[in-house]
Structure 1
Amino acid sequence: MLRFPAYSSLKPLKSLVSIALTVGALLGAAHSQAQQVLRVSAIPDEAPTELQRKFKPLGDYLEQKLGMKVEFVPVTDYAASVEGLINKKLEMVWFGGFTFVQAKVRSNNQVVPLVQRAEDEKFRSVFITTDKNINKLEDLKGKTFTFGSESSTSGHLMPRSFLLAAKVNPDTDMKRIAFSGAHDATVAAVAGGKVDAGALNISVWEKLVNEKKVDPTQVRVFYTTPGYYDYNWTVRADMNPVIRQKLTDAFLALDKNTPQGKEILELQRASKFIPTKAENYTAIEAAARNAGLLK
């Protein structure tokens, strides 16, 4: 005959099972936390290898500050950076002002800009040429011209806005317009004689000049725009508030007087990072709607 233990004798066994389950759950949670990854990307406004090089020290720094893995996920174009964030394939993206506005509109305000470089409060674009007869925006009528990416703030939207203000419609007044896809590609197109002129962001222009990758006596700046708000690091609105605050604090803590801070800030072409907010980009949104680039 089978004999079952009395109910009271099962209590220790049930307690042990309960403890084992609790420990298992805790270990599972710890493992899940350890496996958590912050997926980060950036608009491809420069060559992919350059973006990876710029991000590596920053990624290592953020891993230290967050206590979690930080992975850089390259994207093929500007639109992919927007879609990646709003479709929850990315947690944080380095946007230009226009791509931030696109993400804001596409997500119904479900993205949050965290920080920007101090330089992004008054960012500028430059117009470049090798043609001695081009000295002002009006001289571009009848010429060939290249922007950067169609979704670029400093390589398309704002240059187009300033051209329109100067009564130059790129679509009707120029002989031909093109889109190079990236700022460094714009310089290459102008330097190589593929187009008469082009526009790009001043930060990339100055970097290329400093690195002697372009000869400013051959390719020259003939117009620099007034300042406007541009780049920022943006996250999804549903990000864990603790992680969001840690990210913000990490960026704000970068100090050019420390070896690590100096390396990161120089690669990001920043003197420091400062807080930002969506309201800073209302002028960008207005310019995009006025130019017919945002429906």
Structure 2
Amino acid sequence: MSGGFPESLQFSFAEGINSWVDWLVLHYGDALRSVSNHLLTALVWLENLLRLVPWWLLVAVVGVLAWHASRSWLRAVVLMAMVTGIGMLGLWDKLLQTLTLVLVSTGLCVLVGVPLGILIATRVLARRVLLPVLDVMQTLPAFVYLIPVLMLFGLGKVPAVFATLIYALPPLVRLTHLGLAQIDPSLLKAAHGLGASRWQRLRRVALPLAMPSIMAGLNQSVMMALSMVVVASMIGARGLGEDVLAGIQTLNVGQGLQAGLAIVALAMVIDRISQGYGNARTRGQLERPQ
């Protein structure tokens, strides 16, 4: 007697999903292609713009941002040395490709994630519907996101951006919601009593008070976007992840390790700068007179 699961109770929804994707491509293929072309144009433009910037100027910008965020010359020098080290390894062009992917993905995360976080914080129905969706998005393996975007957008940078967006979005939405939910209601009531509209209360009171939490969410989204670099290289997104993948495929340990360390260095640079700005905002809130 077999101990396997009964075949009569088994089912699969794979065919239904495949049919839905086919229908989507058939009816909205032109619109998807237009979105893909516009996003690809933005990616290529930003990548070419970064290539026009002299390497020393980009390193100097990193140093200025690091000092402005932390007021630490030591941190600024260390982060500048990390970026310079990536160039010395011969990975400067791949660094720019990866940086472009991360910047565009993070920008889309902000455009989508902050409004969703505000919606969840202000609407009970939206919170009940979207929080389980965010749970699923955070639980699904990163490779799963590649399947639908490949079907809809093909290979290249565009599907990599959308896969990264889906993967990196939940932390920003959740921490935006958390920051707004932790605001003292009496402050919003006081602003309302002074005649502030809903938009004015959100823009002038709620968002500034929630900004440290939003910055923490942005930091997490950037880190998750960087963690998708190697996965995105599997569908044609070039950059540092491409070298890591090539090192795995050819058993070239040195090549993979170099690119991996470059990704770590880039992650540390972005993390320290974004954390510095987040901590500065937090200090500003704590030092503000009550």
Name the one with the larger strand percent. 1
TM-score range, shorter chain: under 0.3
Q: TM-score, normalised by structure 2?
A: 0.23
Hey, which of these two has a bigger chunk of helix by percent? 2
Instruction: Give the TM-score normalised by structure 1.
Output: 0.23
In terms of Rg, which structure is larger? 1
